[in-house]
Structure 1
Amino acid sequence: MNRENFDREMMKMVEPNSNLPLMEIGLIRDIMLKEEKAAMTLIATEQEQEQGIIETRQQQIEQMLRSLGITDIHFRIKTVSAEEKQNIITRAQEMKRSASRPITKAAAQNPFPISPLVKQGVRFIAVASGKGGVGKSTVTLHLARSLQKAGKNVGIIDADIYGFSIPDMMGIYEKPEPTNNRPTPLKKDGIQVISTGFFVKDNNPVLWRGPRLGRMLSSFLNDVKWESLDYMLIDLPPGTGDIALAVHQMIPECLEIIVTTPQSTAAVVAERAGLMALQTNHRILGVVENMSYYEDDSGTKHYIFGKDGGKKLADQLRTSLLARIPIIPEDGESTKSTILSTIYDELAQHIIRSTSN
């Protein structure tokens, strides 16, 4: 199944009043494609169902899917009020208008050069969150390992200036040595890493702001002597500050993954990071919900931090929920650790498929 063909055909199906694609504004959600199978959720009012409008829509989509070679098709119908549906459409229209405007005068001027790594075909993925403590760096590291396991050359830029943790998580305690007066990333488990932590004495806090932060990121992208790369993961600071803006300026084609927990407050602030990506025309690959649940020895799942915050955030940003990551202690059983590894391996494969030409 060619996802590009699917997306192109689905974008032809529009909501009649707004003339916006149903998939783009979130009236078609939870799309799952696998070989000859497809499943999705259609959002509809009771009136649309009674008048047969949703049935006609199903028939149109099914006809399109069959023309693409998909034979096993499943629809789920989610009923909403007319007011809820209008809110979905209005929100999508506002986000679309916002995405067409420059974020700030400074962003439009773009004082930083675009990284030459972009021209080399490196695929950049920024891992963002709205607040700290949601496991963004953990997601970055595990994803990098799964991409490397899949045969990809992977680098990590630990750009979380005020909370750099990647070197410690990877067990890297030495400092990089320059080659021909150029910084060289350190390599651990086949992954190339550069971090602010490499250039900070002891554990002193970083007291940088504004242009200095941008210059640091520019140096990581342009001055560091990277080996051949397929993917570069950028562990962003939480929020929408200077570093996040610099990434948008220097790497126009950067993709983004938004990390949140199931808590509603975490999802609300994470939405701002997602809206910044949309506002600067960056493509959001999807949402990863971390700390989704804890599964005890009996197999019962305990939703310690609430439930479905990641799904709600994905719906708000008109994107997909890529993964739900369970809580597994570091000294957890090997079987549970294997489950975690499997989730990240599947996430890596999804990203490889989504970013392949």
Structure 2
Amino acid sequence: MSVVTESAVRSALAKVDDPEIRKPITELGMVKSIDIADDASVHIVVWLTTAGCPMRSEITGRVTKAVADVAGVGTVSVDLDVMNDEQRTALRKSLRGDSAEPVIPFAQPGSLTRVYAVASGKGGVGKSSVTVNLAAAMAARGLSVGVLDADIYGHSVPRMLGTDARPTQVEKMIMPPIAHNVKMISIAQFTTGNTPVVWRGPMLHRALQQFLADVFWGDLDVLLLDLPPGTGDIAISIAQLIPGAEILVVTTPQPAAAEVAERAGAIALQTRQRIVGVVENMSWMELPDGSRMDVFGSGGGQAVADRLTKAVGSNVPLLGQIPLEQAVREAGDDGEPIVLRDPESPAAVALAAVAEKLSVRRRGLAGMSLSIDTTKNF
């Protein structure tokens, strides 16, 4: 019979990630004690960050399973305790550093996170549907993805990702809920019911700044920002707070929508941001006989891409055309993106193809430190 050691139990616990922070609980200092009895039963006490931690059951389950898999272990019991203020401060410093004021990690020169600001000229073109499906598709590819619902007035991301979870706060650090392996934050998580948000420009800017700086996003590969329609306060704030964010324009084929979408993309001329491309949504409806109906006309997406290419002086590609499907709307209302519910559907295939193009893009060296000591002679 194997002898159970504390080292073996601790090694097992090192494989248990905190569900919100996504780091091992041993690394986060969450293991309070490990007691091994003569009959090989093991009792673990785990520190929670807050008394109201919404993940207490999941943490207990993960710890129990991990320790039970250690050779020779008998029964496993887990108790939970709560960190004190000093411990929470130490945790925050280990994750965010000792800066007096939170900084926006995505605005730092060394950031490797690709930030895409999903914009549209007008509402009703399916911008949020495109955003959550791209996020879910990227996460399914194994990337670490976050979505910031920057549409403060018309927030819809929580519903489309199927969660009503509230963020957990550790000191001034906010832990974003996770749905479909996508981290997300929205003003909807801080309001009661369907209460409208009635704010002016400065308050919008401050809210966006807090979502970017106070939320612990971790090491993201991609951050998607679901912008409100048009070229108002939020679009300007994004350019100020994250100058390296790239604009992804969503339009429908309809000429009227395309003209307005062109304006949303052309803001890059003033903010000096890069336009990564155009996505044409609701491009056509596939009929039972195999033919296509152009419900909203045709050619709008390519027209926007061509005109933006001419305006900015560099290639702005049409990244994809998403067919109009009732299932996309139904999946969004049910909180399960179509790329996960029915990945073989035409719309899901088209969305996944756009996600792949955005996922494999290489970063340039602009703004990044090359770690070269210029004082040395070569």
Normalising by the smaller structure, the TM-score range is: 0.5 to 0.7
Q: Distance in 1 between matches of 2:187 and 2:132?
A: 16
Query: Is 2:105 the partner of 1:116?
Result: yes
Offset of residue 279 of structure 1: 2.0
1:157–1:234 Cα contact (<8 Å) kept: yes
2:107–2:241 Cα contact (<8 Å) kept: no
Q: Distance in 1 between matches of 2:346 and 2:322?
A: 10
Aligned with residue 329 of structure 1, among 315, 326, 330 = 326
Given the two structures, how large is their TM-score scaled by the length of structure 2? 0.62
**What do the CA deviations read for 1:267-290 (whole angstroms, capped 9, x no partner)?**
111111111023211111111010
Structure 2 residue aligned with 1:139: 130
**Greater gyration radius:** 2
Structure 2 residue aligned with 1:19: none
**What do the CA deviations read for 1:191-225 (whole angstroms, capped 9, x no partner)?**
00000111122111111111110000000111111
1:156–1:235 Cα contact (<8 Å) kept: yes
Structure 2 residue aligned with 1:220: 211
Q: Distance in 1 between matches of 2:347 and 2:363?
A: 24
User: Structure 2 matches for 1:112-191, cutoff 5 A?
Assistant: 115-119=104-108, 120-191=111-182
Aligned in 2, Cα 1:168/1:237: closer, same or farther, shift over 3 Å? same
Q: Distance in 1 between matches of 2:342 and 2:359?
A: 26
2:106–2:242 Cα contact (<8 Å) kept: no
Instruction: Give, as a single letter, the amino acid of the residue that structure 2 aligns with 1:266.
Output: A
Query: Is 2:196 the partner of 1:199?
Result: no
Aligned with residue 309 of structure 1, among 289, 300, 311 = 300
Instruction: Look up the SS of the partner of 1:272 in the other structure.
Output: helix
Aligned in 2, Cα 1:222/1:155: closer, same or farther, shift over 3 Å? same
Query: Is 2:283 the partner of 1:286?
Result: no
User: Structure 2 matches for 1:72-87, cutoff 5 A?
Assistant: none
Q: Distance in 2 between matches of 1:126 and 1:270?
A: 14
1:328–1:336 Cα contact (<8 Å) kept: no
Offset of residue 142 of structure 1: 0.6
Bigger drift between 284-293 and 343-352 goes to 343-352
Query: Is 2:255 the partner of 1:248?
Result: no
Aligned with residue 350 of structure 1, among 326, 333, 357 = 357
**What do the CA deviations read for 1:211-248 (whole angstroms, capped 9, x no partner)?**
11000000011111122211000000000010110000
Instruction: Give, as a single letter, the amino acid of the residue that structure 1 aligns with 2:205.
Output: G
Query: Is 2:216 the partner of 1:209?
Result: no
Offset of residue 337 of structure 1: 5.0
Instruction: Give, as a single letter, the amino acid of the residue that structure 2 aligns with 1:116.
Output: P
Offset of residue 116 of structure 1: 2.2
Q: Distance in 1 between matches of 2:304 and 2:106?
A: 31
Offset of residue 341 of structure 1: 2.1
Structure 2 residue aligned with 1:59: none
Query: Is 2:260 the partner of 1:297?
Result: no
1:128–1:237 Cα contact (<8 Å) kept: yes
2:126–2:281 Cα contact (<8 Å) kept: yes
Q: Distance in 2 between matches of 1:144 and 1:275?
A: 24
**What do the CA deviations read for 1:253-279 (whole angstroms, capped 9, x no partner)?**
111110001111111111111110232
Alpha-carbon RMSD across the aligned residues, in angstroms, is 2.1
Q: Distance in 2 between matches of 1:264 and 1:341?
A: 25
Offset of residue 114 of structure 1: 7.2
Instruction: Give, as a single letter, the amino acid of the residue that structure 1 aligns with 2:104.
Output: S
Structure 1 residue aligned with 2:63: none
**What do the CA deviations read for 1:144-171 (whole angstroms, capped 9, x no partner)?**
1111122110000000011100001111
Instruction: Give, as a single letter, the amino acid of the residue that structure 1 aligns with 2:105.
Output: P
Query: Is 2:263 the partner of 1:272?
Result: yes
Gaps of 5+ in 2: 1-101, 310-315, 332-337, 365-378
Instruction: Give, as a single letter, the amino acid of the residue that structure 2 aligns with 1:340.
Output: A
Offset of residue 173 of structure 1: 1.2
* Identity of matched residues, %: 44
* Number of residues of Structure 1 aligned to a counterpart in Structure 2: 246
Aligned in 2, Cα 1:114/1:237: closer, same or farther, shift over 3 Å? farther
More helix by share: 1
Q: Distance in 2 between matches of 1:298 and 1:121?
A: 47
Q: Distance in 1 between matches of 2:358 and 2:208?
A: 24
